[in-house]
């Protein structure tokens, strides 16, 4: 689980690597990308309908079992 020290360290590294002016732009673009991704997932699941279930087929008996005329 993330603690307060972990979050502060990540924020400090973000400011160090990207600068204080770029962080709001980056977080905004990440938020927009996540919302578009969620919209795409929900739209994709509504468009696809599951295929109808296949009818159950009866298994064939093995060739050597049962009565046959050659076994007499």
Q: Is 68 part of a structural domain of the chain?
A: no
Question: Is a pLDDT exceeding 80 seen at residue 8?
Answer: yes
Q: Is 60 part of a structural domain of the chain?
A: no
Q: Is 50 part of a structural domain of the chain?
A: no
Over residues 2-17, mean pLDDT: 89
Residues 6+ apart with CB under 8 A from 18: 26
Q: What is the CA radius of gyration of the chain?
A: 31
pLDDT of 5 reads: 93
pLDDT of 24 reads: 87
Residues 23-63 pLDDT 10s: 888 889 999 999 999 998 888 776 666 666 777 666 666 66
Which has more pLDDT, 45 or 2?
Answer: 2
pLDDT of 71 reads: 54
Domain count, the chain: 1
Q: Is 69 part of a structural domain of the chain?
A: no
- Domain of 33? 1-43
Q: Is 58 part of a structural domain of the chain?
A: no
pLDDT of 51 reads: 65
Q: Is 19 part of a structural domain of the chain?
A: yes
Q: How far apart are CA 15 and CA 55, in angstroms?
A: 60
């Amino acid at each position: 689980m993330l603690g307060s020290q972990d979050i502060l360290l990540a924020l400090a590294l973000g400011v160090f690597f990207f600068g204080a002016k770029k962080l709001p732009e980056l977080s905004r673009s990440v938020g927009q990308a996540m919302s578009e991704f969620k919209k795409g997932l929900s739209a994709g699941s509504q468009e696809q309908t599951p295929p109808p279930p296949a009818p159950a087929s009866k298994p064939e008996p093995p060739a050597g079992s049962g009565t046959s005329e050659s076994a007499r």
